[in-house]
Structure 1
């Protein structure tokens, strides 16, 4: 990837992102990372996905995997891995929100994240952006008309997300973008 000015945590991009099973490109947009600065590096997001999305035990990733699969049954490790190969994942805030979860990003963090996000969208050219949580939804600026995208917002997987409305919302957005769940 190139021309990603301001991006401290490079997005995870699945091997099949550009030729996904959905028939369109799907960018999953998370809010922020938590941790200590010594843990960071440009590949931090990629390592988190690889360490947490492919195996059971991480509720956030297990729930999100099921939404992306359009199913609620327990996925095999192969299904988990395969699901994540068809999407990209990027955390909007480009610095640690805090050392532990449930810490809200500051106004300055939200503002500083807008330009790097725009660069990521220009680079990845998603057709659908799946926004995780209302707080993030309320803090992302609209994209310029030159970057047409179908937006989809669901309740955050760690915040009481229900499968049926989330899967329906993603399926609807994929359909509007010319894809299928």
Structure 2
């Protein structure tokens, strides 16, 4: 994966078993980092390390950080209930997590530049080709609007269309659906999204 800078989190059981037998890719937008000036020029484990810190906290061996509420909230809504730590850890070990933009921002709540979004497209398709997810769950309206409309792209309505459409990417002769949710840190995100996520899972071929 020549274009990928931020190596994705791949859960221990994701490739062989997945979630309910399916490979789910959770797609975040970007990282922020002030640790080095090599961003984009090296392979970086920040995505893996962030996920490990979250899971370590749930195992009782790491400190709590405020952003972890976002990951917990997403898990509960995706699974349709407030889950215990064991179920949460098992879920994150069954999925993939990747941030789309391959250049870190300088701080939280700073939007990546248009160039950072556009230059990350090749890396995104490298991820799709290598890991062949069955469903992509996209965190947030802004990222959804920046996703590429290429590689035999098409759209499809879902339920009452309240949460928009499914995007499909035809990669290596496989149709990979992508579905948007409000960002899990947003006040708009809640259990009303659960039925749409379940329907998106039902669309997997």
> Shorter-chain-normalised TM-score: which range?
0.7 to 0.9
Which protein has the bigger helix share? 1
Q: Which has the larger radius of gyration?
A: 2
Post-superposition CA distance 1:43-90 (Å, at most 9, x none):
11001001024535411111122133232x2x3322221110111000
| Structure 2 unaligned spans of 5+ | 59-63, 153-169
Is the CA contact (8 Å cut-off) linking 1:55 and 1:80 kept in structure 2? no
Give the aligned partner of residue 90 of structure 1.
98
Asked if 1 retains the 8 angstrom alpha-carbon contact of 2:30 and 2:103, the reply is yes
Maintained 8 Å contact 2:19/2:91: no
Shift of 1:114: 0.5
Q: TM-score, normalised by structure 1?
A: 0.87
Check the 8 A contact 2:19/2:95 in 1, yes or no. no
Q: How does 1:21-100 map to 2 (within 5 A)?
A: 21-38=19-36, 42-55=44-57, 57=64, 58-71=68-81, 73=82, 75-98=83-106, 100=107
Change (3 A) 1:107 1:21: closer
Distance, in Å, in 2 between the alignment partners of 1:24 and 1:166 is 19
Gaps of 5+ in 1: none
Over the aligned positions, Cα root-mean-square deviation in angstroms equals 1.9
Q: State TM-score, norm by structure 2.
A: 0.77
Greater share of strand residues, 1 or 2? Answer: 2
Which fold has the larger relative contact order, with Cα–Cα distance below 8 Å and residues 6 or more apart in sequence?
Answer: 1
- Structure 1 residue corresponding to 2:145, chosen from 138, 145, 149: 138
CA distance 1:96–1:77, change in 2 (3 Å): same
